[in-house]
């Protein structure tokens, strides 16, 4: 990870992609609207947590931990999103 700005851009891009897809699912499939809303809430919570950690992080170890958690959480969120699409 090059710097805080790039990490924030990557987090924003992932968050926006997941939320956009959830909104699309809500519009197309009423049966999955509640599940998509729950995923949106989880994504926003993840976003707030990661940004808070970035803003308070001081050392390289802090940022390595944040990047690792971001990678893990983004995989989890994308798996849940893929589950909604099937």
Residues 17-53 pLDDT 10s:
999 999 999 999 999 999 999 999 999 999 999 999 9
- pLDDT tens figures, 48-70: 999 999 999 999 999 999 999 99
Q: Are 39 and 84 in contact (CB under 8 A)?
A: yes
What pLDDT is attached to residue 2?
A: 62
Q: Check if the beta carbon of residue 77 is closer than 8 Å to that of residue 40.
A: no
pLDDT at 85: 83
**Which pTM value belongs to this model?**
0.88
* β strands within the chain, DSSP E: none
Tokens for 42, please give them: 């989880």
| Confidence tier at 1 by pLDDT (50, 70, 90) | low
Backbone angles phi, psi at 58, to 5 degrees: -120, -35
pLDDT digit string, tens, across residues 72-84: 999 999 999 999 9
């Amino acid at each position: 990870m090059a710097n805080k700005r790039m990490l924030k851009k990557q987090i924003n891009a992932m968050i926006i992609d997941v939320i956009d897809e959830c909104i699309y699912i809500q519009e197309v499939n009423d049966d999955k609207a509640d599940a998509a809303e729950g995923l949106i809430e989880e994504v926003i919570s993840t976003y707030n947590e990661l940004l808070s950690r970035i803003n308070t992080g001081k050392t390289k170890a802090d940022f390595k931990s944040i990047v690792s958690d971001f990678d893990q959480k983004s995989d989890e969120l994308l798996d849940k999103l893929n589950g909604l699409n099937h």
